[in-house]
Amino acid sequence: MATPHLSRATHARLKAEFDDLTSRGRIEVAEEIERAREEGDLRENAGYHAAKDKQGHMEGRIRQLEHLLENAEITESLRIFTIRYDGDSEDDAERYVVGDPEEVITLGRDDVEVMTPTSPLGQALDESEATAGQWVEYDAPNGRLRIEILSIEEI
- Domain limits of the chain? 5-73, 77-154
Lowest-confidence pick of 109-118, 130-139, 140-149: 109-118
pLDDT tens for 80-131 read 999 999 999 999 999 999 888 888 888 888 889 988 888 999 889 887 777 8
* Distant-in-sequence, close-in-space partners of 43: CB < 8 Å, separation ≥ 6: none
Residue whose C-alpha is closest to residue 33's, from 22, 47, 20, 43: 47
What is the third-level CATH fold of 5-73? Answer: Helix Hairpins (1.10.287)
Dihedral-angle region of residue 9 (phi above 0 means left; psi in -120 to 50 means alpha; beta otherwise) = alpha
Beta strands in the chain (DSSP E): 5-7, 73-75, 79-85, 94-98, 113-115, 135-140, 143-154
Same fold for the pair 5-73 and 77-154: no
Confidence of residue 144 (pLDDT cuts 50, 70, 90): very high
Class of domain 77-154: alpha beta
Q: What is the rounded distance in angstroms from the CA atom of residue 25 to the CA atom of residue 29?
A: 6
Q: Is the pLDDT score of 1 beyond 60?
A: no
pLDDT tens for 34-81 read 998 888 777 778 889 999 999 999 999 999 999 999 999 898 888 899
**Bridge partners (DSSP) listed for residue 7:** 75
Q: What is the rounded distance in angstroms from the CA atom of residue 36 to the CA atom of residue 52?
A: 10
